[in-house]
Structures are given as C-alpha cells and as structure tokens.
Amino acid sequence: MKDTFKHKGLRQKLVEVVQSKGITDAKVLEAIGKVPRHLFMDSGFLDHAYQDKAFPIAAGQTISQPYTVAFQTELLQIKKDSKILEIGTGSGYQCAILCEMGAKVYSIERQLELFKLTSKFLPKIGYRPKKLIFGDGYKGLPDEAPFDGIIVTAGAPFVPKPLMSQLAIGGRLVIPVGDKVQIMTLFIRKGTKEFEKHEFGEFRFVPLLEDKN
Ligand code: SAH
C-alpha cells in the first residue's frame, strides 16, 4: 500500500491531462491529485494507473476513466457535507473522490464480491463513506433520502424513477443514459414535480443491471 513520490508526480500529470480536457473545478482537480488511483487497481495494471483510461477490476467490472469521474463529479457541484448517493461502488475510486471532497457518501453495489472487497479496502487507505450497501441501485436508498446529489456510474437503459424522487429540491442527478453508448444527463430538481434536464456528450459505461432476484 505504498504511495511514493513517483506516484504523486504521475498523479499531478494526470491532473493536467484532465484539466486540458476541460475540467475546471479546482476541488475536483485537487481530489484527483490526492486519491492514489494505483491502489484501486489489480497489480497487473499498476503501470497504467495514471493514464486517463478505464481499466478492468474484479468481477468483470471497470474502474472509470479519470476524466469521466471528474466530469460527473463536477456536474454534482459538491459542497462540504453534501449528502451524495452513488450507484455502482465498483473499485471505490469515485467514492474516494467524493469522500476527499468532504461529501457524506452512500454507495450501492450489486456484486457481492466487489462490495466485500471495497468495504474492506476504503477504510484501509483512510476513506470512510457513511454507508456502503450491497443491493440494487435501481431502487436507490429510500431510508436515507433525500440526497443533495445522486451519481450513477453504470450505463442506465432508462432513468430509474426512485432516483428522481430521492433527490432533495435543488438536488442533482448525474446519470449516463443509453444502451450501447450513453448520453451523460443531469437532472436538477426544481420543485416536487419540476426537473430541469441537461444533456452532455457521449460516454461508455458497463451496464446498470437489473436485480437478479
Ligand atoms: N464507481 C466505480 C465504477 C464501477 S463500474 C469506480 O469508481 O470504480 C459500475 C459498477 O456498477 C460495477 O461495479 C457494477 O457491478 C455496478 N452495478 C451495475 N448494476 C448495478 C445496480 N443495479 N445496482 C448497483 N450497482 C450496480
């Protein structure tokens, strides 16, 4: 679990790459510069940890590309103590970025193996989300709602209704919508029934899967 000067240097280069692609939020860039991404990856990929690319993790899933993580995080507009729900914990990298920015993070993962691995790993490197949940993200987390922000880190074939209804007024849902290719979509809740919708470019995610049960 080493984080060396070499890693820090590579991370600073990654920050510059992400910035050159259009990320401007200083807090997001700072978090990318702090979270040791190489520790979230299988050892075989260590050399690639600070390239701006997605990579395989356990259980056939992927750790998202840093630019994508930064883009989604920027859209959330996190403040200290914002209450954020993440769907798709995966490696925990996105979760760590949110924790680093001072958010209170709840994160749901449907694969037991990943849920167990990441639940053990995050506190080991000093990140303490409020709650990691093994379950189905399509349902959100009604017991802890409302959330200031909800971020979906898998490609959703449609926008799950529970996620919309679990947003606080003024809250933001960031969700890639589509089957093979996804359009990054931001919903801002303006009132009980009013949502503002913004669409951004195309992204590619592993699919948000429906519950097996
Ligand atoms: N945020 C992660 C990205 C992981 S990839 C990271 O930073 O590494 C997307 C994750 O979503 C996978 O781990 C996958 O198992 C999970 N997932 C897919 N469908 C889901 C669902 N219905 N509920 C919760 N998690 C889901």
For the segment 97-129, what is each residue's pLDDT rounded down to a tens digit?
999 999 999 999 999 999 999 999 999 999 999
What domains can be seen in the chain, in order of their start residue?
5-203 (3.40.50.150)
Ligand 1 center from residue 56 Cα (angstroms) = 12
Q: So what's the pLDDT on residue 192?
A: 96
Taking the C-alpha atoms of residue 39 and residue 105, their distance in angstroms, rounded to an integer, is 20
The string of DSSP codes covering 98-119 is HHHTT-EEEEEES-HHHHHHHH
Q: So what's the pLDDT on residue 212?
A: 57
Taking the C-alpha atoms of residue 154 and residue 42, their distance in angstroms, rounded to an integer, is 20
Atom of ligand 1 nearest to the CA of 137: 23
Atom of ligand 1 nearest to the CA of 88: 11
Model confidence pTM above 0.85: yes
With a Cβ cut-off of 6 Å, ligand 1 is lined by 61-64, 87-88, 90-91, 93-94, 108-111, 114, 136-138, 153-154, 206, 208-209
Told to judge if 107 belongs to the known catalytic residues of this protein, a careful annotator would answer no
Name the band, by pLDDT with cuts 50, 70 and 90, for residue 58. Answer: confident
Name the band, by pLDDT with cuts 50, 70 and 90, for residue 206. Answer: very high
Q: Kindly report, residue by residue over 149-202, the tens digit of the pLDDT.
A: 999 999 999 999 999 999 999 999 999 999 999 999 999 999 999 999 999 999
